[in-house]
Amino acid sequence: MINKKVDNVTAALQGVKDDMTMMLGGFGLCGIPENAIAELVKIGVKGLTCISNNAGVDDFGLGLLLQKRQIKKMVSSYVGENDEFERQMLSGELDVELIPQGTLAERCRAAQAGFPAVYTPAGYGTEVAEGKETREFDGKMHVLEHAFKADFAFVKAWKGDAAGNLIFKGTSRNFNPNMCGAAKITVAEVEELVPVGTLNPDHIHIPGIFVQRIFQGATFEKRIEQRTVRTK
Amino acid sequence: MLDKIGIAKRIAQEVQDGYYVNLGIGIPTLVANFVRADIDVEFQSENGVLGMGPFPFEGEEDADIINAGKQTITTLAGASFFDSAMSFAMIRGQHVHLTILGAMEVAQNGDIANWKIPGKMVKGMGGAMDLVASAENIIVAMMHTNKRGESKLLKKCALPLTGVGCVKKVVTNLAVLEITPNGFKLLERAPGVSVEAIKNATEGNLLIEGDIPEMSL
């Protein structure tokens, strides 16, 4: 077993510097690396490029980094529900690259799997495809999309072990597995770090080879963005 | 004329036994409530769930189980969770049979615009561009005209496109229309709506062949 365990979030974020490119898992506020984000705010690194499906809300998730103007550029598919984000984008303080959600996932996966680029039909004929190579396959047009290059990937899992093996829960899985191993260093924060050997190898979602550092998060707020219920 | 519920009810008639269906945010989400009980359908949400169920009972919400609208949901027997790449493999790989989504504009050739109003609103396309580029069957749910009373069924979209030549059918508060090589073919009228009213509210080419039946809901 190769040990990936670090003691805390501070140790997990060693080497994080200004102007780096970060991948952050999560969909809305579901499955975001809360502890890593809090630490990035604490360290105060600036000029970050963040690859994340969404940009959090004003006072949680990546919204916390936006508040402190630590983000230079966001690469996302959907950025509603965040007034500060909209303000910074419209004023030109923040550079924003909006890309289709499936393309975002696949550019992560391509980086993880060693593909330099992939062809996708998504976005053909729209402004997303402007300036990109296009090619016809079987009578249908496709756009060439390049693998991301990132310094750190911050992901959140439900359970993990010191070998770096990860198991996710529910829809908090989302982009997290696709970002593992897609950056130079993958940092996984888990709700529960269990002893090596207790996870069934058949149940592992992400093998530890894709993870460089793992720690148990001190706290997880797991805020709900849209609480919808029905009555009994 | 239909309200949003009426549009959802009419679209629910398009859902067939054995379909995997992706529902967009807004009116499309309501469709799930009106699908016939005697057919088997599974709803996919692109954030990573197949076999989506209704909202949870109060007190049973789980922050880790949401839909693409970030709403708390439940899952039904036979459901599964998966990552975003696999979710879009289902969509791009055409394993999902039907996509129902909203739009700001639809053109008579099937172009759709629904993600950006330059200078005013930029929230992003989310999964819409992947969905419309790959889905074999795309139905748009929307109001026939915008808040200023202008037609949303156009010769050519004015807003930035989400996808080209992809929409198959449009269900509005006034009508059901099919996209054909010659424009919007009027299939059905909403209850109490005249062909003339639909003509007036449609900027794109409208094809009217024979008597146009009223929808049955």
- The whole-angstrom separation of Cα B47 and Cα B82 is 8
Is residue B160 domain-resident?
Answer: yes
Q: What is the CATH number of the domain that holds B133?
A: 3.40.1080.10
ipTM exceeds 0.90: yes
Tokens encoding A169: 């829960």
pLDDT in tens, B45-56: 999 999 999 999
Highest mean pLDDT range out of A87-101, B115-129, B198-212?
Answer: B198-212
Report residue B162's pLDDT band, with 50, 70 and 90 as the boundaries: very high
B182 three-class SS: coil
Residues 89 through 108 of chain A touching chain B, CB cutoff 8 Å: 89, 96, 98-106, 108
pLDDT confidence of residue B50: 98
Is residue B13 domain-resident?
Answer: yes
Domain that holds residue B58: 4-207
pLDDT confidence of residue A112: 98
pLDDT confidence of residue B119: 79
A85 Cβ partners below 8 Å, 6+ apart?
Answer: A55, A63, A66, A74, A79, A94
Tell me, yes or no, if B53 comes closer than 8 A to chain A by beta carbon: no
Mean pLDDT of chain B: 96
pLDDT confidence of residue B155: 98
Is residue B153 domain-resident?
Answer: yes
Contact B46 A101 (CB under 8 A): yes
pLDDT confidence of residue B120: 78
Tokens encoding B162: 């989400």
Residues 110 through 139 of chain B touching chain A, CB cutoff 8 Å: 111, 115, 122-130, 133-134
Tell me, yes or no, if B16 comes closer than 8 A to chain A by beta carbon: no
- The whole-angstrom separation of Cα A189 and Cα A175 is 14
pLDDT confidence of residue B109: 97
Given CA atoms A167, A170, A176, A181 in this order, what sign does their dihedral have?
positive
DSSP B27: H
- The whole-angstrom separation of Cα B188 and Cα B209 is 11
A9 Cβ partners below 8 Å, 6+ apart?
Answer: A35, A36, A38, A39, A189, A215, A217, A218
Mean pLDDT of chain A: 97
B29 three-class SS: helix
Q: How many CB atoms lie within 10 A of CB A118?
A: 17
Number of separate domains in chain B: 1
pLDDT confidence of residue A83: 85
Contact A121 B49 (CB under 8 A): no
In this prediction the pTM is: 0.96
pLDDT in tens, A151-208: 999 999 999 999 999 999 999 999 999 999 999 999 999 999 999 999 999 999 999 9
Give percent of chain A above pLDDT 70. 100
pLDDT confidence of residue A84: 87
Is residue B122 domain-resident?
Answer: yes
Is residue B216 domain-resident?
Answer: no
Which residues does chain B have within 8 Å of residue A173's beta carbon, measured at their own beta carbons? 48, 81-83
Is residue B114 domain-resident?
Answer: yes
pLDDT of residue B6 exceeding 90, the answer is yes
Answer left, alpha or beta for residue A58, where phi above 0 means left and psi between -120 and 50 means alpha.
alpha
- Active-site residue numbers of B? 46
Please report the number of interchain residue pairs, chain A to chain B, with beta-carbon separation below 8 angstroms. 181
Kindly state the average pLDDT of the residues A98-126: 98
DSSP B66: B
pLDDT of residue B121 exceeding 80, the answer is no
- The whole-angstrom separation of Cα A171 and Cα A173 is 5
Is residue B173 domain-resident?
Answer: yes
pLDDT in tens, A44-98: 999 999 999 999 999 999 999 999 999 999 999 999 878 888 889 888 899 999 9
Angle at CA of residue B181, ends B176 and B186, nearest 5°: 20
Report residue A135's pLDDT band, with 50, 70 and 90 as the boundaries: very high
Is residue B213 domain-resident?
Answer: no
Q: Smallest CA–CA separation between A226 and chain B, in Å?
A: 5
Contact A100 B128 (CB under 8 A): yes
Residue with tokens 């062809």: A119
Domains in chain A with CATH codes? 9-116+148-216 (3.40.1080.10)
pLDDT in tens, B22-43: 999 889 999 999 999 999 999 9
Closest by Cα among A182, A183, A184, A192 to A214: A192
